[in-house]
A and B are shown apart, each in its own frame.
Chain A
Amino acid sequence: MKIAFTTKGVYWESVMDSRFGRTEYILVYDDETKELTNFDNRSINNEAHGAGPKTAQKLYELSPDILITGNGPGGNAASVIQQAGIKVFIGASEMSVKEAYEKYKKDELEGF
């Protein structure tokens, strides 16, 4: 299974980014191959409009099964993510990616 995170860095110790649309990075962890890959989303800050849908589309291309994030995607992004069939978990703000993953495994995150 592939799990995506909205983050501010590319390591397990990096801090989660509580936003979705303008998140700095999308980290993807494949729990079968144990591989951690990342997508640098920082150029999104050049976009005046439509940051949500654009980032959501990028997420779709990375094809994770679930997304773990902080506050949750805004309306537009949420429709894309829902359409893409990706399940979203929120509440993972102000913690490291590792901690967010632990919380998810212990069922301590809220479904969106």
Chain B
Amino acid sequence: MNIAIASGKGGTGKTTLSTNLAALFAETQKVVLSDLDVEEPNSGLFIKAELLLEENKFKMMPEWIEDNCSLCGICQDVCNFHAVIQLGTKIMIFPQLCHSCYACSELCPGEALPMIPKKMGVLKHFNNGNLSFIESRLDIGEEQAVPLISQTIQYVKEKFSDNIIKIYDAPPGTSCPVIEATKDADFVMLVTEPTPFGLHDLKLAVETMKELKKDFGVVVNRYGIGNNDVLEYCITKDILVLAKIPNDRRIAELYSSGKLIYNQHPEVRKQLENIKDYILKINQSSTR
């Protein structure tokens, strides 16, 4: 069962939700939490677990073999991303701009640009009892989140059996990386806050989910501030609200110290139990 946690806006509480929910599940069953915010993974700050293994992750990149090159310039012509530049007698390649389309490599008449793996990031697999935690981090200077996100999801699918609950903490926003992180999820939870910013960005996230034809529900964080517009919007659009996590300065303080909240705050725990029950319910009905 694959659950993705996303939000239109940054800072709504995705990581707070994903880490606390995973910890709650781990009390009674095996669960996998993956942090797909590969540019800046934060969940690890809240999870105490032992490192089991570390894997370098690679994307394919052209490498210039000078001896085979006739300086025809076709490689530069066919690269839509300006990742291959010809400077007189030298070909320069920009890995950060390369989208690994293979055009330059395969259209080169002299086989002067073979594709080779280039390290773009690291995947770390941690474990603490029932909780498995996968964290992927892009190397500094790497800009393409999508390949690493996709390889991380692949890793999780291969390492863990289908019936284990898998929670994916997606990056914020609605652009490519979020699409990659949520497109194969069975269910997506959109985290928002009950304010004008929250509502505005929730609508963008909802639009994205509808384009991807995903089943989704909403979790309202910092419930109590702002106004009721978000709830009214969900009612009008027939969107399921799974939980309302209360606004409490204490939660912000615990978060800032890298601590989990659910076991220190009964109301939060109750709300997370609601989410957990819902997930188990849809898991059961899908495996029937």
Contacts and interface: CB of A to CB of B under 8 A. Distances in A.
Judge A-B direct contact (beta carbons within 8 Å): yes
Interface of A: 47, 49-51, 53-54, 56-57, 60, 75-76, 79-80, 83-84
Contacts of A53: 82-83, 85, 92, 94, 97
A52 B287 CA distance: 51
B96 interface: yes
A49 B81 contact: yes
Contacts of B85: 53-54, 56-57, 80
B87 interface: yes
Given A47-B82, A49-B81, A50-B82, A80 B141 contact: no
Contact of B87 (A50, A75, A76, A84): A84
Interface of B: 81-83, 85-88, 90, 92, 94, 96-97, 141
Contact of A57 (B81, B87, B96, B97): B87
Contacts of B86: 57
A82 to B, nearest CB: 10
Top 3 nearest A-B pairs (CB, nearest first) are A50-B82, A54-B82, A57-B85
Nearest to A76: B94
B92 A50 contact: no
Contacts of B94: 50, 53, 76, 79
Please indicate which of the listed interface residues A50, A75, A83 has the most CB atoms of chain B within 10 Å of its own CB. Answer: A50
A26 to B, nearest CB: 16
Given A49-B82, A53-B85, 17 more contacts: A49-B81, A49-B97, A50-B83, A50-B94, A50-B97, A51-B82, A53-B83, A57-B85, A57-B86, A57-B87, A60-B87, A75-B96, A75-B141, A79-B94, A80-B85, A83-B90, A84-B87
A82 B141 CA distance: 18
